[in-house]
Amino acid sequence: MLKASKTDFKELSRALSLVENSVAGYRDILLGLKPNATPIIGITGPPGAGKSTLVNALLNHWSAQRKYVAVLAIDPTSPFNLGSLLGDRIRMAEQFTKPNVFIRSLATRGSLGGLSAKTIELTDILGSAGFDYILVETVGVGQSEVEIAGLADITLVVLVPEAGDEIQGIKSGLMEIADAFVVNKADREGADTFANTLRKLSQQKAEPIPVLSTVASKEKGIEDLISFIDHFEKSPSIKKQQLVAQKAWQLLQQKLTAGLNKEQLQQDLAEAVQKNNFNLYQFIDNWTSRS
């Protein structure tokens, strides 16, 4: 089994690449994985909330304690060239020299919620490597990020005081998946009022959702956040079953569409739309019957 040590990071990277790119034999790696208890911490929230800065602060704290931490940073895939910016590699540059921190960027591969089936597979491989913590940072696209709840043991929803204008959207969407709200950039005006509003909203649930305040750029409030993570009670069995079912559903979707080539689809579609009698539904029926 892969181990989370400095000398094995190359081997781990190789295994992740084989699985990410579905290279021959990658299924054997997945089928050989053993159950593990490494906590998976999902960090989600709207763009500009400071998710990467918060991850940076958590890494600084844990690496100082000699903990082994893996980060899976999800970046959006361009619908035009199928590539991704992988901007988190830039924002977390200071972490790459640390022997106990492993960072891997992964494109969304077109998944609306930012989490593809490959995210699940790569997270499971990281879990088998013996890390103390695994962080999964999503792309930051709003309510579609609820998919993170199907992957993470703990879901942290990161918000900023300016999100107060979007409070109804938060209530109807992210409120359902948050294990804790993190009001980041809490030194800004209106932060206390916003945090109190979140607390009032969370009181409407059977189990109120904790609201924590941080200034990640100055590493303020990070110890309280880590204390919450370390003392978070594991999900009840019913919820755990639901999470596993969600993961299984995404993996089945991937398997059923494995034979479809998106690049070929784009090429064929580019030719088809030039015809005067083009009908998208007829095209799809014909194209899938050939694939």
40-44 sheet: strands from edge to edge: 101-107, 69-75, 133-137, 40-44, 154-159, 180-183, 211-213
Share of the chain above pLDDT 90, in %: 37
Return the higher-pLDDT residue of 280 and 169: 280
Most confident residue range from 51-65, 80-94, 126-140, 261-275: 51-65
pLDDT at 84 over 60: no
Q: Render pLDDT for 252-276 as a digit per residue (tens, 0 to 9).
A: 887 888 778 878 898 999 999 999 8
In the chain, which residues fall in CATH 3.40.50.300?
6-258
Q: What pLDDT digit, counting tens, does each position of 202-229 carry?
A: 887 778 889 999 999 999 999 999 999 9
* 246: its two tokens: 């969600």
Amino acid sitting at position 115: L
Least confident of 47-56, 149-158, 217-226, 267-276: 149-158
CATH topology for 6-258 is Rossmann fold (3.40.50)
Distance CA 126, CA 70 (A): 7
pLDDT at 101 over 90: yes
pLDDT at 14 over 80: yes
